[in-house]
Structure 1
Amino acid sequence: MSDLVVVEETQILAEQADSSILAEEVKTIEILAVADQGPPGPRGLPGPEGGATLVTVGAVPLSGHSAVACNSAGLLVPADCTNPSHRGAVLGLVADAYSPGDEAVVQTAYVLEHAGWTWAPGPVFVGTAGQPTQNLPIGALFSQALGQALSATRVLVDVQPPITIA
């Protein structure tokens, strides 16, 4: 903490014959010592890597490398472009599989790689049942880019706002 000294002065500006006094109060604050940084606090639990967030998985298990959305309870579910409640609720992709109740790491700005993918360069969209796609399925109610395919096995996750189709 800083040590502070407060000096108060009263300067009499005028004194009247009827015993009234016009005075001005002046406060001066002087800092005598500057505070030093205190000791560091305890280290918190490690969070996800940058470009990710932790969200609890809902009642349905999540497959790895799938698109996810938040349901009305704020829990993760497989994202689906044919489900109107998922419009505006898609968060990103998960790299790993998760069970109900797990804290899942959702990638929101990250390069995700999966040997089982066979992308063509270009946008990757929310498909059905959590599966990312480059071709919207029949019955899609909205289109939402999850990111860009950088190669056949790599996607730069960069979720964009949804576009209503139907």
Structure 2
Amino acid sequence: MSDTTLTAEAFVLVVEPVTAPVLVEGGEDCVITLEQTETVVIGAGEQGPPGPQGIPGPAGGSSLQRQAGEVLSALRVLYELDGAVFALDYRDETHIDLLLGLSLTAADAGQPLNVQRSGVIEDAGWSWQPGRIWLGADGQLTQTPPVDGFDVLIGAAVSATRITLNIQDPIEQE
């Protein structure tokens, strides 16, 4: 096909089969039909239905997707065990070393859940004071450092609605 300028109007171009007389040895005339039908559809496309949600975030492992092991809310600190994630409590001695990151989405048990391990997170519902943020009860974030259980620094609030994740190793309180 030659180069053609197309407009936004849709059209269909059909090239019909070509017939050509052919002289065959022996002097008899024959007609041979070449089966080379070509159909080309050219036109403006429409948006299709959305596909499944992909793996979140930039390359490098700062964001990932896991399966919820229980009903989970967004913006909760999670741990991972056997491919599923659960809310982590600052007093959970059994799972404290399995800390994965912060949930970005909510999910029912068995559904995919987006998790962020580092970087900036914003939420209009937050009202932080600039300063440190720790792991609290049931995976919640708090600006009150724990006096028992484990001290797990999650990051810092840099504005009322923005935190920078910088998850540190847990320190057991005595």
TM-score, length basis structure 2: 0.62
Identity %: 32
| Structure 2 match to 1:88 | 97
Shift of 1:146: 1.2
TM-align CA RMSD: 1.8
**Partner Cα separation in structure 1 for residue 65 and residue 136 of structure 2:** 22
Secondary structure, counterpart of 1:129 in structure 2: helix
The letter for the 2-side match of 1:54 is Q
**Partner Cα separation in structure 2 for residue 84 and residue 153 of structure 1:** 30
> For residues 141 and 131 of structure 1, do their structure 2 counterparts lie closer, same or farther at Cα, with a shift above 3 Å needed?
same
**Greater relative CO, 1 or 2 (CA 8 Å, sep 6+):** 1
- Indicate which of 75, 95, 110 corresponds to 1:65: 75
Secondary structure, counterpart of 1:84 in structure 2: coil
Shift of 1:84: 0.8
**Partner Cα separation in structure 2 for residue 84 and residue 56 of structure 1:** 22
| Structure 2 match to 1:117 | 126
Shift of 1:74: 3.9
Runs of 4+ in 1 over 6 A off after TM superposition: none
| Structure 1 match to 2:155 | 147
**Partner Cα separation in structure 2 for residue 133 and residue 74 of structure 1:** 27
Structure 2 residue runs without a partner (length 5+): 1-52
| Structure 2 match to 1:13 | none
Query: What is the aligned length?
Result: 119
- The 8 Å contact of residues 122 and 163 in structure 2, kept in 1 or not, is answered as yes
- Indicate which of 47, 63, 70 corresponds to 1:52: 63
